[in-house]
Chains A and B, each alone.
Chain A
C-alpha cells in the first residue's frame, strides 16, 4: 500500500486522539469549567413594558394600568404540608388549591407558573409577609388595565391572555404564553402601538436557582419600552350623555365631526362595564355578558345592518341630479297611487319631497334613473341604469367597509347585478322588480356608522374624511386621513339640505326642532319583519359650517322622528351649546316609552 496513504490515515487517528484527549482534559480532569458552568447559568427575565394609556379628545384619562400581583408557583419546590396555610391566605378551597397546583404542574415542574392571578393591592399587602417563607411560591408584580369610566367599552375593547391559536399564528414570535394582548376595539386595532417593547434582563443564577447578580453588568440587557399613549377623538362628556340617553334601549349612536372625520361619540346599546373584563372574575363576567340576549358584545354601530329607509332619499335625490334625470327645481305631480305614501298628493320638487318624505316622488325619480332608455329592451336598459346608479351609491361609502380604525367592521350591502340575476334570472328583472330600493327598503343594508358618515357627506356638501376614533399616537403624531370625494356637484347638495332643514322645522323631525339652532336631518322608520319598527335619524348641524353629523338608531322604537330624532337633537344641542334647553325632550327620551299612539302631524 501507498505509504502516503498510511501517513494520512495515521494523521486522522492522531487528530481524533488529540481531540479526545483534549476533551478528556476539559470534561473530566479539569474542574474549572464545571464550576464556571455552575456560576454561569443565565436566566432570561422578561421585563414587561407599560401598556400605553388611552385618553379622550381633551386628554381625560380613559384607560390606565393598575398594579396587580400574580402568585407564582414552582411545583417542584412545593411542600404540600403548607396547603392549608395557602388555602387560608387566599381563601380558596382545597379542591381549588389542587386544581391550580395540577395545572401548574402540567405546564412545568421546574418553571414558575401562575397559581393565583391578579391579587389586588390590598390583598397583596395582607398576605405578603405570610407568603414569603412558604417554599415554592413567589409574587410577581404585573399590571392590568383599569378603566376610569364605565363608558365606551365597545370602542376601547379589552385585553386578555393570548390564546394558543394566536401564539401559533404569531410569526414574529413576540408573544409568550400568559402574555396579554388586545382582544377587541382600540386595544386590538392599535395593539402594536400600545404594547410597547418587552425588555430582557440576563441574570446569573447558581444551580439552585438563586440569583447571583446581573450578567455581564447588564451589558446584554434591553430595557422595556413603554407603549405609546393613544388620544381618542371621542368627547367623553358627549359620549357619557349619549350613553345616558341610550340607557335601557337597544341601538346605536354615532356622532362625527364632518370637517375631520373624527368620531365624537360612539354608542352601542346595551353595553357593559369594561372593568368587568379586567379583574379576577373575567371568565365569569365574560360568559354572563356573552349570554345576554341583547348582545352587549355586538358592536352595533359598525356591525348591525339595517335597511336605510327614508334617509336613503337624500342619496336618491343626489344620484338622480348627477344623472340629470331630474332638475333641482323640477316639480313632479304625484297622485300618491304608485306606492303606499303618507305624503299627500300634489306637486313635489326635491326639497319638498324630502321635507314630506314623499314615497311616490322617489318612486318616479328612481324609475327615471333605472330606465334611462339606453336600450330598447327594458330589461337590458334596467341593467345599464342599475349599474350607473349603483356606482354612484358606492361613492357614498356604502356597500363596503369605511375603514374605521376598529376591528370587525361590517360592509353593509348594495346588491350587484348578480344578486338580482339570481333572484329573477338574467334579463328577467327591471325597475318594477326593484322599486322598493327607491325608498331605501328592499335588499339595501347599511351600518349606523355609514349613515353618520352620510350625515358628514351632506354636511360637507360632497366629501368625507374616513371616520376614525384615534386622533394621535404617542407624542401628538396625528394620523393623516383620506379626503374621499363623492363626485357630485355641491350645488345639488343645497336643494337636498334645504329639504333636510324643513324636515326638522315643519316635517317628521319636528321633535328635534331647536329655534336658534338650524338642524338638518332625515328620519327613517326602518321596517322590521320581526317586530316593532326601528327608529332612525341621520342629520347634521348647524346648517352652515356644520360641527356635528349624527346617526341614531333605536331598535323597536317605532317612528324615526321620535326616539332617534329626539335623541339626536339633544346630542347636537349638547355638543354645540354645551347645555340642554328642552328638559321635556330629555325627559321624554330618558323615559324611553316611544310606542304610544301616532300623532297625526308626524309622518315618515
Chain B
C-alpha cells in the first residue's frame, strides 16, 4: 500500500489556513496604508512587509513540524509542558516590562512571549493527561488535575499582568466539556457571568428584587419537595451574593483600566474619546462599510492612527469597512468552516491524545475568534487578543500555525496510531 503523505493530509484545512493568512496580510497593508506616502506591501517599514516575513517563517515552521516524528509530541508532552511552565516563571523573574506587563523576553532585538507558546505546551500537556484510558473527567480527582494543567499557566500569566492572554486559557474548559464534564459546572460558570453582566446593566436593588421574584416563581413550579426548595433557595442566595460582590470586584479587584473597559462596554458613549474610543471608532468603521464595503484601500476610518491596534487587535474593522457585510460574513464563514473542520478531524481520531489535542486547538482558536470579533463589534469588553491568522504579529501567527499544523501532522498519521493500539 503506497501511503503518500499528500493523500493523508487534510487539504481543506490547509486551504482555509492559506486564505485566512493571505487575507490577513492584505488587510494589514490596507490598515497601515497612508495616502500621503504610498509604500509597497513588501516594504519592511510597513507592518505588511514584516508580516510577510512572519508568514514565510511560518511556512518554514510547517515544514519542520512535518519533518518531526509524529510520536514526538506525545512522548515528550510533559517535558514540553514542564519547560513552558519554567519559561513562564523565568519571564516573571527576568522578563522585560512592556506597557505594564512582564511577558516578554528580550534577546538582542528579538522578542519572545512565552505565554503565547505555552498555549501549545498546555494543549499537548492536557492531551497527554487524557491519553491514558483510565482518566475520566467524571472522576473528581482527574478533573482537578486536568484543570490544574491550565490553571497553573493562568495564574502565572495573570501575575505577569497580561489578563487578556490568561483569559484565553479558560477556553480549555470547552475541552473538558467535550470530554464529559458535568454541564452543571459550565452552567454555573456561565450563569455567574450572566449575573455579573446583569449587575452592571441593571440597578442593584431592582436586580435583587428580580432574583427573589424569579426564585419564588421557580419554587412555586418546581419545589415539590424540600430538597428542590433548598437548592432554589441556595441558588437565589448565591446569586444575590454575586450581585453584591460585583460592586466589590469592580471597585477593589479590577485595575482601573479594566474597570473602564468593562464600563465602556455597557455605555461606550460615556467616554467616547477615552476607553470607549476604540469601540466607537471600530463600530463606525465597520458600520460605514455598508453592504459591500468601500473597496480595497478606500477606507477612510481605519487609516489614521487613532485606533492604536489598527493592524493587530482591531484588524477586523478594516475588513468590515472596506469589504462590507459581505466580506465580513465570508470571513466569519471561513472561520466557521475551519473550526467545524477541526472538530471533525478531532472526532475521527482513534487516539485519545490526538482527539483531546484537536479539541484544544479548536478551543483556543474559537476563543480568540469569538472574543476578538465580539470586541470589535461591541459585544464584549476590549481584551487585547489577536484575531487568529489575521492580526499582525509574529508570536501569535507562529503559535496558531504550530497549533494547527501539529494537529494536521498527527491527523495524517491516524492510521498508524490505530495500528499501534
Q: How far is the CA of A30 from the CA of B290 in the complex (A)?
A: 10
Taking CB atoms, residues of chain A closer than 8 Å to B286 are 23, 26-27, 33
Partner of A111, one of B36, B333, B343: B36
Chain B: residues with Cβ within 8 Å of the partner, total of 43
Taking CB atoms, residues of chain B closer than 8 Å to A42 are 304, 306
8 A Cβ contacts from A1-59 to B: 1-2, 4-5, 8-9, 12-13, 15-16, 18-20, 22-24, 26-28, 30, 32-34, 36-38, 40-42, 44
Closest B-chain residue to A7, C-beta based? B177
Q: How far is the CA of A61 from the CA of B333 in the complex (A)?
A: 69
Known: A16-B333, A108-B35, A111-B36. Is A2-B287 also a contact (CB below 8 A)? no
Is A329 among interface residues, defined by CB-CB distance under 8 A? no
Known: A108-B35, A173-B45. Is A33-B284 also a contact (CB below 8 A)? yes
Contact, CB under 8 Å: B325 / A28: yes
CB distance from A31 to the nearest CB of B (A): 9
Partner of A19, one of B35, B291, B374: B374
Taking CB atoms, residues of chain A closer than 8 Å to B332 are 16, 19-20, 23
Contact, CB under 8 Å: B287 / A176: no
Interface flags for B280-304 (1: CB within 8 Å of A; 0: not) read 0001111111110000000011001
Closest A-chain residue to B336, C-beta based? A16
CB distance from B80 to the nearest CB of A (A): 26
Contact, CB under 8 Å: A44 / B304: yes
Taking CB atoms, residues of chain B closer than 8 Å to A18 are 379
Interface of A is mostly: helix
Is B178 among interface residues, defined by CB-CB distance under 8 A? yes
Is B340 among interface residues, defined by CB-CB distance under 8 A? yes
Q: How far is the CA of A41 from the CA of B35 in the complex (A)?
A: 14
Is B208 among interface residues, defined by CB-CB distance under 8 A? no
Taking CB atoms, residues of chain B closer than 8 Å to A516 are none
Taking CB atoms, residues of chain A closer than 8 Å to B191 are none
Is A220 among interface residues, defined by CB-CB distance under 8 A? yes
8 A Cβ contacts from A122-179 to B: 171, 173, 176-177
Is B398 among interface residues, defined by CB-CB distance under 8 A? no
CB distance from B243 to the nearest CB of A (A): 26
Is B132 among interface residues, defined by CB-CB distance under 8 A? no
Q: How many A-B residue pairs have CB under 8 A?
A: 108
Taking CB atoms, residues of chain B closer than 8 Å to A26 are 283, 286-287, 377
Is B353 among interface residues, defined by CB-CB distance under 8 A? no
Is A476 among interface residues, defined by CB-CB distance under 8 A? no
Contact, CB under 8 Å: A23 / B320: yes
Closest B-chain residue to A39, C-beta based? B284
CB distance from A175 to the nearest CB of B (A): 9
Taking CB atoms, residues of chain B closer than 8 Å to A596 are none
Contact, CB under 8 Å: A37 / B35: no
Taking CB atoms, residues of chain B closer than 8 Å to A24 are 325
Interface flags for A190-219 (1: CB within 8 Å of B; 0: not) read 000000000000100000000000001001
Is B339 among interface residues, defined by CB-CB distance under 8 A? yes
8 A Cβ contacts from B302-324 to A: 304, 306, 320, 324
Q: How far is the CA of A30 from the CA of B273 in the complex (A)?
A: 22
Contact, CB under 8 Å: A5 / B288: no
Is B370 among interface residues, defined by CB-CB distance under 8 A? yes
Taking CB atoms, residues of chain A closer than 8 Å to B287 are 26-27, 30, 32-34, 36-37
Contact, CB under 8 Å: B273 / A27: no
Q: How far is the CA of A202 from the CA of B336 in the complex (A)?
A: 40
Partner of B301, one of A8, A40, A176: A40
Known: A27-B289, A177-B37. Is A40-B284 also a contact (CB below 8 A)? yes
CB distance from B31 to the nearest CB of A (A): 15
Known: A34-B288, A37-B288, A176-B36. Is A27-B347 also a contact (CB below 8 A)? no
Is B328 among interface residues, defined by CB-CB distance under 8 A? yes
Q: How far is the CA of A42 from the CA of B377 in the complex (A)?
A: 21
Contact, CB under 8 Å: A23 / B177: no
Contact, CB under 8 Å: A15 / B370: yes
CB distance from B344 to the nearest CB of A (A): 9
Partner of A23, one of B273, B329, B340: B329
CB distance from B194 to the nearest CB of A (A): 15
Taking CB atoms, residues of chain A closer than 8 Å to B25 are none
Taking CB atoms, residues of chain A closer than 8 Å to B370 are 15
Is B373 among interface residues, defined by CB-CB distance under 8 A? yes
Closest B-chain residue to A217, C-beta based? B273
CB distance from B297 to the nearest CB of A (A): 12
Q: How far is the CA of A186 from the CA of B362 in the complex (A)?
A: 63
Contact, CB under 8 Å: B347 / A5: yes
Q: How far is the CA of A466 from the CA of B181 in the complex (A)?
A: 80
Taking CB atoms, residues of chain B closer than 8 Å to A15 are 336, 366, 370
Contact, CB under 8 Å: A27 / B320: yes
Contact, CB under 8 Å: A4 / B178: yes
Is B392 among interface residues, defined by CB-CB distance under 8 A? no
Closest B-chain residue to A44, C-beta based? B304
CB distance from B310 to the nearest CB of A (A): 13
CB distance from A14 to the nearest CB of B (A): 10
8 A Cβ contacts from B364-416 to A: 366, 370, 373-374, 377, 379
Contact, CB under 8 Å: B340 / A220: no
Taking CB atoms, residues of chain A closer than 8 Å to B333 are 16
Interface flags for A233-247 (1: CB within 8 Å of B; 0: not) read 000000000000000
Interface flags for B326-348 (1: CB within 8 Å of A; 0: not) read 00110011011001100100110
Taking CB atoms, residues of chain B closer than 8 Å to A111 are 35-36
CB distance from A15 to the nearest CB of B (A): 5
Most buried by B among A15, A24, A42: A15
Contact, CB under 8 Å: B373 / A19: yes
Is B180 among interface residues, defined by CB-CB distance under 8 A? yes
Q: How far is the CA of A9 from the CA of B359 in the complex (A)?
A: 12
Q: How far is the CA of A40 from the CA of B300 in the complex (A)?
A: 9
Contact, CB under 8 Å: A22 / B377: yes
Q: How far is the CA of A4 from the CA of B175 in the complex (A)?
A: 10
Taking CB atoms, residues of chain A closer than 8 Å to B324 are 27
Is B216 among interface residues, defined by CB-CB distance under 8 A? no
Taking CB atoms, residues of chain A closer than 8 Å to B36 are 44, 111, 176
Partner of B288, one of A8, A36, A216: A36
Taking CB atoms, residues of chain A closer than 8 Å to B178 are 2, 4-5, 8
Most buried by B among A16, A27, A108: A27
Closest B-chain residue to A110, C-beta based? B35
Q: How far is the CA of A171 from the CA of B370 in the complex (A)?
A: 38
Is B174 among interface residues, defined by CB-CB distance under 8 A? yes
Known: A15-B370, A28-B290, A42-B306. Is A23-B284 also a contact (CB below 8 A)? no
Taking CB atoms, residues of chain B closer than 8 Å to A41 are 300-301
Taking CB atoms, residues of chain A closer than 8 Å to B289 are 27
Closest B-chain residue to A207, C-beta based? B300
CB distance from B330 to the nearest CB of A (A): 10
Q: How far is the CA of A247 from the CA of B177 in the complex (A)?
A: 94
CB distance from B3 to the nearest CB of A (A): 27
Q: How far is the CA of A12 from the CA of B337 in the complex (A)?
A: 9
CB distance from A173 to the nearest CB of B (A): 6
Partner of B347, one of A1, A44, A216, A220: A1
Closest A-chain residue to B328, C-beta based? A23
CB distance from B325 to the nearest CB of A (A): 4
Instruction: Given contacts A12-B366, A16-B333, A111-B36, list 14 more A-B pairs with CB under 8 A.
Output: A2-B347, A8-B343, A15-B366, A16-B335, A16-B336, A19-B332, A20-B325, A26-B286, A27-B328, A33-B288, A36-B284, A40-B284, A171-B45, A202-B304
Nearest 7 pairs of A and B residues by beta carbon? A33-B287, A37-B288, A26-B287, A16-B336, A27-B325, A36-B284, A16-B332
Question: 25 interchain pairs (CB within 8 A)?
Answer: A1-B347, A12-B366, A15-B370, A16-B336, A19-B373, A20-B332, A23-B320, A23-B325, A23-B329, A26-B283, A26-B286, A26-B287, A27-B286, A27-B287, A27-B289, A27-B325, A28-B325, A30-B287, A34-B288, A36-B287, A37-B284, A42-B306, A176-B36, A177-B37, A220-B306
Taking beta carbons and an 8 Å cutoff, which residues of A are in contact with B?
Answer: 1-2, 4-5, 8-9, 12-13, 15-16, 18-20, 22-24, 26-28, 30, 32-34, 36-38, 40-42, 44, 108, 111, 171, 173, 176-177, 202, 216, 219-220
